[in-house]
Amino acid sequence: MPSKEELFKLIPQVDRLMQNEVITDCNIYRHEVASAVRDTLGELRDEIKTSKIDSIPADDVLAQRAVDLAMKRAQYDRDVRRIINATGVILHSNLGRACLSKAAAEAVVEAASSYCTLEYNVEKGERGSRTGGVEKYLSDVTGCEASLIVNNNAAAVLLILSALASDGSVVVSRGELVEIGGGFRVPDIMEQCGCELNEVGTTNKTRIEDYENAISDKTRAILKVHSSNFKIVGFTEAVNIEKLATLSRKHDIPLIEDIGSGALIDVQRYGLNDEPLAKESLKNGADIVSFSGDKLLGGLQCGIIIGNKKLVDTMKKHPLYRAFRVDKITIAALEATLRLYGDPRMAEKEIPVLSMLSASETELEFRAEKLCGKIYAKGGAAEVIKTQSVAGGGAVPGLELNSFAVSPKSKESTDGVEKRLRGLPVPIISRIEDDRVLLDIRTIIDDDFDYIAESLAQISREPQ
């Protein structure tokens, strides 16, 4: 048997392995394979040191080990990668909020990987409008006179107030001085824009007289903010947009509404009763309405401002607009998404946020049973459990939608199973309820069933 010293001498050089065919033929970045080769040889040294081996494997074997290691790392090492959302939270801000429709995803790939007509008019052969398509569809869907797209809804509010009210004050109800996740606080935004915050009413009750009494020469706007992520119950009173519109017209000051989630079609039939419709807000008298592009609308992150043309034009001329403007990918995604809204039935079918929201209990139960069947077919065990999903993403607080979940049966602890699901090559994010791991079927897509079934079956078969 060779001594340890002799074995050490037999370890191949990194350069020699890098020239091995297994490595030259593999489809991985050279620097990543080189790092895997060094680590594979390091392990080999440890194995010699601890007397685990008494011969050196062939170069091909070592090269293959390095390639496997590099492939595994390539799969796990990208910071932003695909996961399976089994939390049942449709708009999960930590998981990237909305998923795009197929049409929008295709538009994104096309715009990203080629030159495009971003600001070019092919008919005239000259410079064209950057957001012409988006503006047309927004006007079709909401009836708006003009529109503007910025980086997100927080930027939209900042731009609106900076352009329209920086030299004066803005009247807001105390009950609407909200903080939306991630440090978006209405009072701070006001300060940033250089406008004075004129808070009226109390936390739970604000009346039209409160607004009326607050209006002065300095008032530049009335702002209404949708309380997206909380609910005040009990003795409450707020002033609706119609009444505020009458008041704002009387004093000739703009009425601005931040509706948050930006529902473009009626979502009441899914049980979302408190979500203002963009179209309704305009119809009821708001001069300017802002909302997110990646909440209920179902597009990429952006902020949408719609309303009065003169006011929108003022914002377009403001330097912040240039700083907040969106790229070709966002525009391509938004245009393709908005186009689907031309036919609400198609929107409901094709836009994942809407299809997940609209899924019936019968359909969800059927799909949960189907996934469960696949798990048994692969030798695992699981049960179907009735549960509740939430819309999430700062939309519709407290609202729960009846749903169904698949719960894997395993000898392992629930924490252990939940963690193992997160550690998979494509992580599955589940939730624990009543000491059970639940995979809510509402946010899972059918294309992932086989992968989930195989992973869960393995967990049942091989508890750790």
Ligand X SMILES: *Cc1c(COP(=O)(O)O)cnc(C)c1O
Residue 183 CB, shortest distance to ligand X, in Å, is: 10
Number of residues forming the site for ligand X (CB under 6 A): 14
**Residue with the closest Cβ to ligand X?**
260
Contact between 451 and ligand X by CB under 6 A: the answer reads: no
- Binding residue (CB under 6 A) for ligand X from 47, 83, 105, 184: 184
Nearer to ligand X, 199 or 258 (CB): 258
Give the DSSP letter string of 433-464: ETTEEEEEGGG--GGGHHHHHHHHHHHHHS--
Residue 56 is classified by DSSP as P
Interaction between residue 337 and ligand X (CB under 6 A): no
Backbone dihedral angles phi then psi of residue 432, each to the nearest 5 degrees? -110, 130
Comparing CA positions, the residue from 206, 211, 219 lying closest to residue 253 is: 219
Query: The dihedral of CA 444, 449, 455, 459: what is its sign?
Result: positive
DSSP notation for 212-249: HHH--TTEEEEEEE--TT----SS-B---HHHHHHHHH
Which residue, 302 or 439, is less far from ligand X as judged by CB? 302
Strand partners of residue 382: 408
Give the per-residue contact string, 395-434, with ligand X (x = CB under 6 A; - = no).
Answer: ----------------------------------------
173 lies in the binding site for ligand X (CB under 6 A): no
Residue type, 60: D
Nearest to 248 by CA among 301, 286, 205, 284: 286
Instruction: Give the residue with the Cβ less far from ligand X, 150 or 354.
Output: 150
Q: Note whether 258 binds ligand X by CB under 6 A.
A: yes
180 sits near ligand X (criterion: CB under 6 A):
yes
Binding mask 214-233 for ligand X (x = CB under 6 A): -----------xx-x-----
Q: Which amino acid is at 124?
A: K
Q: Enter the tokens of residue 220.
A: 């530049």
Rounded to whole angstroms, how far apart are CA atoms 226 and 276?
A: 8
170 binds ligand X (CB under 6 A): no
Helix (H, G, I), strand (E, B) or coil at 122: coil
One of 154, 255, 300, 357 touching ligand X (CB under 6 A):
154
Q: Residues in the chain, how many?
A: 464
Q: Write down the least CB distance from residue 94 to ligand X, Å.
A: 13
Please report whether residue 292 would count as binding ligand X according to CB under 6 A. Answer: yes
56 binds ligand X (CB under 6 A): no
The verdict on 394 binding ligand X (CB under 6 A) reads: yes
Applying CB under 6 A, the residues found at the interface with ligand X are 152-154, 180, 184, 225-226, 228, 258, 260-261, 292, 303, 394
